[in-house]
Amino acid sequence: MLSKENIIDFMKANGIRRDDLVTVHAALRSVGPIENGADGLIDAMTEYLNEGLLIIPTHTWDEVSSTNPYYDVRKNVPCIGKLAEVAAFRPDGVRSLHPTHSVAVFGPGAADFVKGEEKCASPAPLGSCLSRLYEENGKVLLIGVGHERNTYLHSVDERLGIPDRLNPDTYVINITDYDGNMIQSPPFHTHFTAASDCCVSEYYPNYKEAFEYTGAVKYAKLGNALVYVCDARKMTDTLKTIWQRTDHDLCIRQEVVPREYYI
């Protein structure tokens, strides 16, 4: 049984500071038994990050769409697993008003951190919660999952202006806030890549060796799960170099990124 002390020891051992911004994606079953389950994991990480922020994605992109353009921060259940479902409705967290890629944030300054998310016109634009991990030297923990679940990399695509990543066709989303007020989003661009047969995130593992080489990602264990401990700024800088050197889209099929692109 993984205890609170085990989780705190993991954070300390892997270079995470108490004032860090840390985003967590997790497949909890891969970890094994956790004391108090998803709540126990959140409690331990929040206690450790007492000067920083714990950021848990609570996405709703499978439900909020052009045919159902409604997001209620009080009601919409996340589509990305148990940790997200628990985090979204905890009273000590603040869930953002981003209609498709919301996050629940825990810690001092959480309410200020999520301000303005209802103004996002795409999944992870500059200035959004996920994108700000770059400016804030944040970390991403992928617990029992790989880069195909690394939502931060969508923000890198948007930061670098990678072509063919956003749907040119837009729609307005009706957002209901905590007080029951309805707000309309700007014309919203969903993720879309015409050249790929699926979401480009399925091909983000193509970057794995490059991230290892540049030190952007290191590995650890939490319970039974392999954890990718990711440095947001280093991942971004690695991809900036790669995309300056490539002559084609590296995330529309499974392929090996040539070493000369990042060495």
Mean pLDDT over all residues of the chain?
97
Report which DSSP code applies to 89.
Answer: T
Q: Annotate 13-24 with b (16+ C-beta within 10 A) or e (fewer).
A: ebebeeebbbbb
Given a contact cutoff of 8 angstroms between Cβ atoms, the answer to whether 25 and 150 are in contact is: yes
Given CA atoms 240, 122, 26, 252 in this order, what sign does their dihedral have?
Answer: negative
pLDDT of residue 109: 95
- 73, two tokens: 């921060």
Please report the pLDDT score of residue 5 as a whole number: 98
Among 94, 100, 257, 251, residue whose Cα is nearest residue 175: 100
Does the model's pTM come out above 0.95?
Answer: yes
Task: Give me Rg for the CA atoms of the chain.
Answer: 18
Q: Is the dihedral of CA 46, 239, 132, 199 positive or negative?
A: negative
**Using one digit for the tens of pLDDT, what is the confidence trace for 215-232?**
999 999 999 999 999 999
Q: What is the pLDDT of residue 211?
A: 98
Residues 85-132: pLDDT tens digits?
999 999 999 999 999 999 999 999 999 999 999 999 999 999 999 999
Residue whose C-alpha is closest to residue 241's, from 210, 220, 218: 210
Position 227: which residue type?
Answer: V
Give me the pLDDT at residue 232, please: 98
For residue 100, report the phi and psi dihedrals to the nearest 5 degrees: -120, -25
Cβ atoms of residues 220 and 139 within 8 Å:
no
The predicted pLDDT at position 195 comes to 96
Domain extent at residue 106: 4-261
* Number of domains comprising the chain: 1
Question: Distance between the two ends of the chain, CA-based, in angstroms?
Answer: 42
At 25 the pLDDT is 98
pLDDT for the residue 201: 97
Residue 223: what pLDDT? 97
pLDDT of residue 90: 98
Q: What per-residue confidence (pLDDT) applies to 110?
A: 98
Residues of the chain scoring pLDDT < 50: none
